C-alpha cells in the first residue's frame, strides 16, 4: 500500500489511519477490506472503502461470506449491481430483505424482490421503490 501500512497496522490504527488508507490512491483491495471491517459504526468510512476504485468485487464478496456484522453492512452499503443481483438470489430471506432495502439496488431487482415469497422481502422492496 502506498502509505506504507499493512493489514496489521490497519487493525491497530486510529480513525485517521483508516481514512488515510481510503484516501490512498494506491490502497490495495485487501487493505480496503480491512478498513471496512474495522470501521464499525462509521458508514461514511465504510462506503468510502467499498466505493474506492481499487476495491474488487471479490474482496466485497469475501467480506460478505465471512458473516457477522460486516456482512450485514456490506449488504446495506454495496452499490455494485452485479453483487446485489447475486445476493438477491440468496435462499436466505434476511439477505434478500437487506438487498431489497439497499438504496443502490437497481429498480429491476427491486421489482423482482417485490414479488418475493417472503413478506419481509416484499415489504422492504416496496418501501425502497416508494422512496425513489
pLDDT tens-digit series, residues 71-89: 999 999 999 999 999 999 9
Instruction: List the grid coordinates of 92.
Output: 436466505
C-alpha of 49 from chain center: 9
List pLDDT tens digits, range 31-53.
999 999 999 999 999 999 999 99
Q: What are phi and psi of 92, to 5 degrees?
A: -90, 120
How far apart CA 13 and CA 103 sit, in angstroms, is 30
Interior/surface letters 23-60, b for 16+ CB within 10 angstroms, e for the rest: ebeebbbbbbbbbbbbbeebeebbbbbbebebbeeebb
Taking 80 as the threshold, does the pLDDT of residue 12 lie above it? no
Amino acid at each position: 500500500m502506498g502509505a506504507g501500512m499493512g493489514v496489521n497496522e490497519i487493525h491497530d490504527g486510529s480513525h485517521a489511519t483508516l481514512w488515510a488508507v481510503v484516501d490512498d490512491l494506491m490502497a490495495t483491495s485487501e487493505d480496503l477490506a480491512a478498513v471496512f471491517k474495522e470501521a464499525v459504526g462509521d458508514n461514511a468510512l465504510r462506503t468510502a472503502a467499498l466505493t474506492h476504485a481499487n476495491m474488487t468485487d471479490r474482496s466485497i464478496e469475501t467480506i460478505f461470506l465471512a458473516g457477522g456484522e460486516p456482512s450485514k453492512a456490506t449488504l446495506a452499503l454495496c452499490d455494485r449491481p452485479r453483487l446485489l443481483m447475486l445476493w438477491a438470489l440468496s435462499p436466505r430471506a434476511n439477505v434478500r430483505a437487506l438487498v431489497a432495502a439497499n438504496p443502490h439496488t437497481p429498480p429491476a431487482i427491486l421489482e423482482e424482490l417485490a414479488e418475493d415469497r417472503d413478506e419481509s422481502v416484499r415489504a422492504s422492496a416496496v418501501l425502497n421503490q416508494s422512496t425513489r
